[in-house]
Structure 1
Amino acid sequence: MNTQSLILASAITAVLALAAQPTLAADASKEKCFGISKIAGNDCAANGHSCAGMAKTANDGKEWKLVAKGTCLDLKGSLTAR
């Protein structure tokens, strides 16, 4: 395989890998609520890790969960990371 073919194959592989990634659709009825997740109960990457369910402490202000819009403050959470 020559260099040009290798570059082309690498580029195609990269495009296909990106296209296969799941995306989170924005849900207007939900909002991120920081500081309310339990241990291993966060919804997505934050705080130095790359996956949901990896929160090491409960109620960490940098971890978040999706909640119904307008309920975060009632849950004693914050709309921004603390």
Structure 2
Amino acid sequence: MSANSRSVAAAVVAGAVATALSSVAAPASAYAQAKEKCYGISLKGQNDCKAGPGTTCAGTSTVDYQGNAWKLVPKGTCEEMTAPGDRHGSLTALERDNPQG
């Protein structure tokens, strides 16, 4: 194989790798953009992050449907989500079902 053929082959491989990487990155970005934080819908210990004062992050909610703990959900679905006791998801933290008050 000549040096010129090796250069062409290397360029083809590099192009294929770049194409493959961009096709993997695009869905990941679209996935991240297609989500929103929804407060008050996660079960105890199943929140994605933030569970109010005295907690750190994911999995730290201490009661079901804790109002100040959130879960990532598909964008546009949060406020339609329901939980027992006529509860609904919220795009902002809720006062209800918070263990500290």
- Normalised to the residue count of structure 2, the TM-score between the two structures is 0.53
**Superposed displacement of residue 74, structure 1:** 1.1
Match of 2:67 in 1: 61
Task: Answer yes or no: is 1:30 the counterpart of 2:42.
Answer: no
Asked which structure has the greater RCO (Cα within 8 Å, sep 6+), the reply is 1
Match of 2:57 in 1: 51
Moved over 4 A (4+): none
Which protein is richer in strand relative to its size?
2
Among 76, 79, 91, the residue aligned to 1:70: 76
Unaligned runs of 5+ in 2: 1-28, 82-87, 95-101
Secondary structure class of the residue paired with 1:73: helix
Unaligned runs of 5+ in 1: 1-24
**Superposed displacement of residue 60, structure 1:** 1.1
What is the CA deviation profile of residues 29-50 of structure 1, one whole-angstrom value per residue up to 9, with x for unaligned ones? 0000000010001001331211
2:50–2:68 Cα contact (<8 Å) kept = no
Task: Answer with 1 or 2: which has the greater Rg.
Answer: 2
Which protein is richer in helix relative to its size?
2
Identical counterparts, % of pairs: 48
Task: Answer yes or no: is 1:42 the counterpart of 2:47.
Answer: yes
Aligned-residue RMSD, C-alpha: 1.7
Aligned positions, number: 58
